[in-house]
Amino acid sequence: MKADLFEALSLNIAAHKACAVVTDIEAGSQILIGADTRIGDLKLKEEQLAVVNQLIVGDVSGQIDETNLFVRVYGPALRLIIVGAVHIAQALAPMAQLAGFKVTVIDPREAFVRAGRLSEVEALTDWPNEGMHKLQPDSRTAVVTLTHDPKLDDPALAAALRSKAFYIGSLGSNRTHAKRLARLTEDGFSERDLDRIHGPVGLDIKAKTPSEIAVSILGEIVATRRRAAA
């Protein structure tokens, strides 16, 4: 790999921009294909370029059939938006970062944010509807609400339901969750919309402590993403 291609790749990855490196594994020639970059000595045919662009969209690396061309796709960052700088968030945020998520915690209660010791995590002290509007969740975003407080959770869930977020989870018992669904139904969401919300949140691993609950939530997020791609 030529130094200039590698340096451009580093910049794309640091900026969370989707891109791909295509390598002719017999000849050793390469090209970096990004939204606004194209660097390298490998020439691709139109139809090969179309395949590469498809692979970038699907975030799938692999060889192009019947060619020597290997495509390594570097997808944009996965994101996790956590509403509520509560105890579980303190565990969930760093775990999700380890697993490759760019994590943002939204909580207008500054004391919670300070108490949450979230120094390595982006924290917004906006109200959830404002925070969600700033963050614009997309199909590579997971949203989890943890506050139990309808004033904070409901607007975030409504914004998540109006987005393409691939995972929406909401902490609360069966009873709390049923009430929540009733409120969201009154707000005009259909049963099909509400089926997107995982609640009670997380895989059933009999989690008790905040960190165990974080494991169950992160497990459910990973399972949802990987099952959708399988």
Partner 1 sequence: MHNVDADPLDRLTEWHAAGKKTALATVIKTWGSSPRPVGSHLAVSEDGDFAGSVSGGCIEGLVIEAALATITSGEPAQLEFGVTNDMAWEVGLACGGKVQVYVESIS
Asked whether position 211 contacts partner 1 by CB under 8 A, the answer is no
d(CA 21, CA 159): 35
Q: Using N-to-C axis directions, what is the helix angle for 87-98 and 210-229, rounded to 10°? A: 40
- Minimum gap (Å) between residue 73 Cβ and partner 1: 7
In the sheet where 122-124 sits, what is the strand order? 122-124, 101-106, 78-83, 141-145, 167-170, 197-198
Cα separation of the two ends of the chain:
31
Site for partner 1 in 94-133 (CB under 8 A): 94-95, 97-101, 120
DSSP-H helix ranges across the chain: 3-14, 46-58, 87-98, 110-115, 128-135, 150-161, 174-186, 191-194, 210-229
Identify the burial level of 47 via C-beta atoms within 10 angstroms of its C-beta, where 0-12 means exposed, 13-18 middle and 19 or more buried: exposed
What are the Cα distances from residue 27, in Å, to 31, 42, 51, 68, 176?
12, 9, 20, 9, 61
Asked whether position 230 contacts partner 1 by CB under 8 A, the answer is no
d(CA 115, CA 118): 8
Q: Which of 53, 54, 63, 136 contacts partner 1 by CB under 8 A? A: 63
From residue 71 to residue 100, the character string flagging contacts with partner 1 as x (rule: CB under 8 A) and all else as - is -xx-------------------xxx-xxxx
- Minimum gap (Å) between residue 39 Cβ and partner 1: 14
Asked whether position 54 contacts partner 1 by CB under 8 A, the answer is no
Neighbouring C-beta atoms of residue 152, cutoff 10 Å = 21
Asked whether position 61 contacts partner 1 by CB under 8 A, the answer is yes
- Helix, strand and coil content of the chain, in percent to the nearest 5, comes to 45, 20, 35
Tell me the window of 3-11, 46-54, 172-180, 215-223 that interacts with partner 1 (CB under 8 A): 3-11
Asked whether position 225 contacts partner 1 by CB under 8 A, the answer is no
Asked whether position 13 contacts partner 1 by CB under 8 A, the answer is yes
* Closer CB to partner 1, 10 or 136, in the complex: 10
- Minimum gap (Å) between residue 53 Cβ and partner 1: 17
- Minimum gap (Å) between residue 188 Cβ and partner 1: 38
Tell me the window of 41-49, 67-75, 108-116, 210-218 that interacts with partner 1 (CB under 8 A): 67-75
Site for partner 1 in 137-176 (CB under 8 A): none
Asked whether position 70 contacts partner 1 by CB under 8 A, the answer is yes
Positions that interact with partner 1 (CB under 8 A)? 1-3, 6-7, 9-10, 13, 23, 25, 28, 61-63, 70, 72-73, 93-95, 97-101, 120
